Structure 1
């Protein structure tokens, strides 16, 4: 795909003056703009040429935009189409979205909204294309699993994974909670020569020392009350495979010493036993702490640290890879929509703004939880800001929006229009709720919207 500043955009509108205005605005932003005066001509152009985005009127004298859009989907399913309509900002646009349109704009077109919508639509599709290209480049030789991202930080991580996975090296994965360290460990195992052998996981923070030792090394019959028979530990279960030790910094010094022995000698004794068990197990460990600081505080063995971090991978926090948020959000939306037997057409532009602007202290795990909650709460076909918890920052963003609306130097009529349209957008197009919040009758609202060209 072309870069956004060189993208090829096809404007489809039977209103020549409106087409000229749109072309001037978008050309000024560096886009390569082409024109068609009806849907039939546009479909022929899409069939014979390459475009990055189509901006199309819904109502035209010959072939309408809704018919043309459906035809374009069959010609090129990956081509984003943004619909323009003055025939009902909700009903008509929703029908277009159902048939595959990417987004919609209401007439009269707000220039700032046009520029933002076009840029964001192009950027999202560029990211999706980059992610697909990366997977194609890796081909059948590397399975990314659920690792999603095309940001520079994720590209660097994935490239390193392709080098590390086929080796026998012990790997230490660092990163904040919720960044996806377990996914990285899983990708290493499933792309290694051990991929057909067990991948065993242990959360070192979830078990007290006595139980953790039992889980790792197993026990012999009679080792303690209730030990009615021998039990294999995780090291033995992972023989010939991979053992993933999550939250490695939570282990006590005594357990650390035993782990060190396994790494050095490839052997151990079960709890309550004297027989030595030899294993061939690859160790991948993970932590959200800085182990160098833990060593300085005498909470972590330095010799174990050097054994564990033959190769160190760092998973970036979500705030450092915000360009991946649209891909992740769409992935989680698709997953949880299917899980809950729901159908969605994506996110409202303002909702995606909020996701992109939030700091995500809980990283990818927090984003996943937010999207799952939104799927459960939403009753519209697009996820909106009202479906997010307050922590996402909708209130702060609303204050910013309000400040812009009430900025000095604007006419009262312009302020009134923006306030009405913003409230309508916040209410997901529900005019009854909008009129109640604004303190006006539904008929007054209808007249105002008609004045703005929205029926």
Structure 2
């Protein structure tokens, strides 16, 4: 390993000198500082090539502040952030602001050497990392500060640097895919593509070929060789959603990949070795599925060593308001609408509901409320239309029958039919106005006028 000039900034003497000794044993030259200001003064004169920087320095400025000052001097100097109380947002913010990586106390020498080796081997990886981690803050941020969701975030940070499989459990709509995305983008594989597949959304006959690939001529339509997701996700992450829906016979092949790290494409005897970090999710009780002989017990114990359970929204009501506010922000920005505030009465109404559909249902409710307010800048209680299970269970055929039996002038009837169809399409596309307008073949402004 090529020796570097490494600057270490920490307000704890034990950390400062133990880390310095370990790095010197690895052939590096070290310069230690108890204050960030001393580091700033010596970056150029001591020709530092890597910096280890504690986030909490016990002074007026934090490590985050010094990252900006370091970047003003050197835009590419690798900065490894050290934190004793790391959380996802702090770690991601540090890296987004210019840090190269982060490690947690207590420090592990092997992890430190691995970080340095990564810098040596592939510096360009860290440029891509900034772009990917920006996606975490904007797209994959997990909103909420309840005790339950804080534990989820803590486990994400703990498991993200490991190579073990993780099983993510929770009811429909709780955000299992968000957790999986965070596990990938905070991992050492973050610069690689994030691959995912939903077992429930693919015909059973196609799942095996999607995962393992196939050789030309294996079946009708196999005109050429095709790599599956396991091959494409080598050295990366593969998220298998709804693993509980996978047929029993195919589960044995998944177990082989986990245990042996190898597989064969359909129609081939060739064995491929892969290094794939596997993430799984399910809304089912897999123990019950094992009792029903629908899920393999040996597979369950291989994928559930590390498990993250996402609690339903009804069990963390303090998260409802911040999630609702984020939904408002994202929807109004993506549809070029003015931001809307929630009234106190609207807050109260949202907090009293049980959300059987969890965060996905809350998004549905808030999206409708934004549309219902029209030109008003405040969402009030009357705009919050909660999903009535009785009305949801009403068969669509009955609604259609009533619509056609009632006699009205043609223009009124056409308007009602159009409204019914537009509402159905909005629901189909998760209230994405741009996608709905595109599918309907109309301009976004026309769609917005129709639903106001």
Residue matched to 1:222: 217
- Pairing 1:123-162 to 2, within 5 Å after superposition: 135-136=89-90, 139-140=93-94, 141=102, 145-162=140-157
Offset of residue 137 of structure 1: 7.2
2:364 aligned counterpart, secondary structure: helix
CA offsets, 1:238-291, max 9 Å, x none?
110011010101001111011011111111111122211211101100000111
Query: Does the alignment pair 1:252 with 2:247?
Result: yes
* 1:391 pairs with one of 383, 387, 392: 387
Which structure: larger Rg? Answer: 1
Residue matched to 1:237: 232
State the alpha-carbon separation in 2 of the partners of residues 324 and 307 from structure 1. 32
- Pairing 1:407-418 to 2, within 5 Å after superposition: none
Query: Does the alignment pair 1:191 with 2:186?
Result: yes
1:326 aligned counterpart, secondary structure: helix
* 2:281 pairs with one of 286, 302, 311: 286
State the alpha-carbon separation in 1 of the partners of residues 221 and 384 from structure 2. 48
* 1:261 pairs with one of 256, 259, 263: 256
Query: Does the alignment pair 1:341 with 2:343?
Result: no
Residue matched to 1:80: none
Query: Does the alignment pair 1:211 with 2:215?
Result: no
On the 8 A contact 1:198/1:240 being kept in 2, the answer is no
Q: Which runs of 5+ in 2 are unaligned?
A: 1-86, 95-101, 103-132, 392-452
Change (3 A) 1:136 1:262: closer
TM-score by length of 2: 0.56
Offset of residue 161 of structure 1: 1.2
Offset of residue 345 of structure 1: 3.6
Structure 1 outlier segments of 4+, above 6 Å? none
State the alpha-carbon separation in 1 of the partners of residues 151 and 318 from structure 2. 15
Offset of residue 180 of structure 1: 0.2
Q: Which runs of 5+ in 1 are unaligned?
A: 1-132, 396-455
Offset of residue 199 of structure 1: 1.1
State the alpha-carbon separation in 2 of the partners of residues 248 and 309 from structure 1. 12
2:240 aligned counterpart, secondary structure: strand
- Pairing 1:66-145 to 2, within 5 Å after superposition: 135-136=89-90, 139-140=93-94, 141=102, 145=140
2:266 aligned counterpart, secondary structure: coil
* 1:375 pairs with one of 370, 377, 398: 370
State the alpha-carbon separation in 2 of the partners of residues 215 and 392 from structure 1. 39
Q: Identify the structure with bigger relative contact order (alpha carbons < 8 Å, sequence gap 6+).
A: 1
Offset of residue 209 of structure 1: 2.5
State the alpha-carbon separation in 2 of the partners of residues 228 and 255 from structure 1. 24
When structure 1 is superposed on structure 2, of 311-320 and 384-393 the one drifting more is 384-393
State the alpha-carbon separation in 2 of the partners of residues 220 and 171 from structure 1. 30
Residue matched to 1:276: 271
Change (3 A) 1:138 1:392: farther
Offset of residue 185 of structure 1: 0.4
Offset of residue 160 of structure 1: 1.4
State the alpha-carbon separation in 1 of the partners of residues 214 and 167 from structure 2. 27
Query: Does the alignment pair 1:163 with 2:117?
Result: no
**Residue-pair matches, total:** 262
CA offsets, 1:286-310, max 9 Å, x none?
0001111111111100000011112
Offset of residue 146 of structure 1: 2.1
State the alpha-carbon separation in 2 of the partners of residues 135 and 273 from structure 1. 45
Query: Does the alignment pair 1:308 with 2:303?
Result: yes
TM-score by length of 1: 0.55
